[in-house]
Amino acid sequence: DPETANNTYIEQIVASAKAAIDKAAEMGVTDPNRVGVGGHSYGAFMTANLLSHSRLFRAGFAESGAYNRTLTPFGFQNETRTFWDVPDLYARMSPFWHANQVKDPILLMHGEMDDNPGTFPIQSERFYMALKGFGATVRYVTFPYEAHGYAARETLLHVIAEKIAWFDKYVKNAPPRTSTAGAQGNQN
């Protein structure tokens, strides 16, 4: 039901990610212990949720995301219920509220002039501070004069260089995991 689909959002994205990794491993095109995840805007939000609710990925990058859904209290994406209608849902879907559960490295990037009302830079700033407070491996990069969609050639090249360096370090060249956490989904 579109009205209540977000009630099982976390379970849906973790199960979907695990199914995709399992299928890619079955096809022989990936090492399931060396997979990264990333996205921009809603994709950044999904990335942060996957890293805070599973150990499926070795690292992630998140660009211009919304990590505290209480800062978008009148709905978001396909969620039409307000924060006051379903406060527990807004908390559950907010990676910020689960920053203490992020165990794998995350690269946050944000345009300093993000004009999207749901993804003002404060979203990344506060998520970064929460992650640092819990000792997570995190890097936060900002882009001056950039809005929600990055436009400058220099910025786009910088973003690519950051992603490659991050994934080279934390996915491609990461040491083997010492536990079975990499093969498991939800670790709550």
Task: State the catalytic residues.
Answer: 41, 114, 148
Q: How many whole angstroms separate alpha carbon 163 and alpha carbon 158?
A: 9
Q: How many whole angstroms separate alpha carbon 186 and alpha carbon 50?
A: 9
Cβ-contact 48, 92 below 8 angstroms: no
Around 132, how many Cα atoms within 13 Å sit in the side-chain half-sphere? Answer: 10
Opening angle at CA 183, ends 66 and 58, nearest 5: 45
Cβ neighbours of residue 12 closer than 8 Å, sequence gap 6 or more: 5
What is residue 8's DSSP assignment?
A: G
At 128, list the tokens: 């970064």
Question: Scanning the structure block, which residue is given the tokens 């079975």?
Answer: 180
At 141, list the tokens: 């990069």
